[in-house]
Chains A and B, each alone.
Chain A
Amino acid sequence: QQPVQSPQAVILREGEDAVINCSSSKALYSVHWYRQKHGEAPVFLMILLKGGEQKGHEKISASFNEKKQQSSLYLTASQLSYSGTYFCGTELYFGNEKLTFGTGTRLTIIP
C-alpha cells in the first residue's frame, strides 16, 4: 500500500518554508526522500532509518516519527531550485531494500 503524502501541491514564494509529510499505515524500517524536476529522473535527498540514523542533503532536513510511522521533510528559506515533485519511499524492514513510493507533492517556488 502506497504511503500518503500531504499536501499534494504547494506554492511558495522564494524564502518561505515548507513541510511535506509522508504517512504509512504499516510499520517502517526507513523512509527515503527524492526530488524530481519536470522531465528528469528522481534524485536522492534523504534517508531516515528507524532508530534515528540518517544520511542526506546538507540544506534539507527531515524527521521520522516511528510511533506515528510518519516522516516530514522540511524545506527552509526555499530557493527557486527547490521546485519539483517530492516523493517519499518507504521500506518495511532491513534487507527488504525495495521502496514503495507515495504519489508525490508538487512544490512550486515563485520569485
Chain B
Amino acid sequence: DAEITQSPRHKITETGRQVTLACHQTWNHNNMFWYRQDLGHGLRLIHYSYGVHDTNKGEVSDGYSVSRSNTEDLPLTLESAASSQTSVYFCASSAGTGRLYEQYFGPGTRLTVT
C-alpha cells in the first residue's frame, strides 16, 4: 500500500545545530508540503513543492530550507536550530491533479531544541 513516512519520529537537538527531517511518499504525488503544529496556531505551512526541482516558501519559512531531487522525497532542513523551532512537524502530499484532491499526512516528527 502507498504511504507517507517521516523520520525520525522524535528528535532532540541543541541550539545552533543543523537538523534534517526526512519525508518519503510512495503515492507518486506531485505536491509535497511541510507544516509545523504548535498549540494555538494549528498547522502552518513552512515550504511546499509542486514537483521535482520546484520549491516554494510558505508562511513560516524563515530558518528552514527544502530541496526536491526526486518525486518521493522532500527533506526539511533547519539550518541552525533555535528553541522557537521546537514543534511537531508534519509532511503531507497530494496528487495535484484535477480539482478534488486531498492531502495525505505523515505521522509527524516531534522536534525539541534545547
Q: Which residues of A contact B (CB under 8 A)?
A: 2, 30, 32, 34, 40-44, 47, 49, 53-55, 87, 89, 94, 97-104
Contacts and interface: CB of A to CB of B under 8 A. Distances in A.
Contacts of B50: 97
A2 B42 contact: yes
B102 A53 contact: no
Interface residues of B, number: 27
B90 A101 contact: no
B48 A98 contact: yes
Contacts, number: 59
B48 A42 contact: no
A2 B37 CA distance: 14
Contact of A41 (B44, B94, B105): B105
Contacts of A87: 42-43
Contacts of A53: 99-100
Contacts of A97: 31, 50, 94, 96, 101
